[in-house]
Structure 1
Amino acid sequence: METPGNSFEQSARAISRMMGLIFVMFLLVGGFLVYLMIDPTLSAFQSEPEPTLIAVAPPEEDDFDKIENGIHLRTGFVEGEGLMTVVNNCTNCHSAKLVTQNRMDADGWRKTIKWMQETQNLWDLGKNEDIIVDYLAMYYAPGKKGRRQNLTNIEWYDLEE
């Protein structure tokens, strides 16, 4: 004989099973949609995988260190004695732009090299240090720019309120 309490328990179990089924369906559909967002071509289910490597031809040796109009094209450094020593030592760790945006005299460049050796793990440059400092002091020295000259022969006027 069915009691009112039994009917309630059966209904609760049926609702619980239905909710569980809905939850499982939600997880399956949601998981599939997430997978489609990650791999919309469903490439994991294709028989032949697509090639993932792209062959890139190395630069020709002639173009790698090409100089045009007195400028080393790869780095932007000015052509001069010691250029390749600077390229080979300075651009291993940082961009050439870090060098070209700075202006220092020989003492400033030596201090910068010493700072890099003490704090940035720059190796001992040995005899290359003089070559590098000479090059940098020659082509990346402070410009002789001063304050602009005073304006002369100007007729000033008063602003009216």
Structure 2
Amino acid sequence: MVTLLTAEEIDNTTGLIADKGLGDVKENCTVCHTGRFIVVNGGDKKFWKRKIHIMQNAYGLWKIEKAQEERMLNYLSKNYSKKKEVSINE
């Protein structure tokens, strides 16, 4: 199965999927690195929470309000979770 996204579904400043929570990700993540960093990674909420804490502890990311962090985690785990590999025969 191949999922195609239209231009309206991709944020033109970050290249990330336009969905609820993207504004929070733009405000806290892509001010320091490109959206490509997010695209090449992937995981569940636990994975993304760990990434946020690494950014806070090692790279100076500020404290994020709990509700905002939850929106970010929902967005990231929904749109950038680990994807199953698809063979050419599927």
Q: TM-score range by the shorter chain?
A: 0.7 to 0.9
Matched residue SS, 2:77: helix
Determine if the alignment matches structure 1 residue 70 to structure 2 residue 9.
yes
Normalising by structure 1, what TM-score?
0.47
Q: Please identify the structure whose Cα radius of gyration is greater.
A: 1
- Name the Cα RMSD after superposition: 1.7
Residue identity opposite 1:118 in structure 2: N
Aligned partner of 2:71 in structure 1 is: 131
Residue number in structure 2 paired with 1:94 = 33
Query: What is the letter of the counterpart of residue 84 of structure 2?
Result: K
- Number of residue-to-residue matches in the alignment: 81
| 1:112-146 deviation line (CA, Å, top 9, x unaligned) | 11111111111111121111111000000001227
What residue in structure 1 maps to residue 3 of structure 2? none
- The correspondence of residues 1-161 of structure 1 with structure 2, limited to 5 A, is 68-126=7-65, 127-145=67-85
Instruction: Give, as a single letter, the amino acid of the residue that structure 2 aligns with 1:142.
Output: K
**How many percent identity over aligned positions?**
30
Counterpart residue type for residue 62 of structure 2 = W
- Report the residue type matching 2:71 in the other structure: I
What TM-score do you get using the length of structure 2 for normalisation?
0.81
Which stretches of structure 1, 4 residues or longer, exceed 6 Å deviation after superposition?
A: none
Give, in whole Å, the separation in 2 of the partners of 1:110 and 1:123: 14
Q: Mean alpha-carbon deviation: is it higher for 112-121 or for 137-146? A: 137-146
Q: Offset of 1:68 from its aligned partner?
A: 2.8
CA deviation after TM superposition for structure 1 residue 96, in Å: 1.3
Pick 1 or 2: higher relative contact order, CA cutoff 8 A, min separation 6: 2
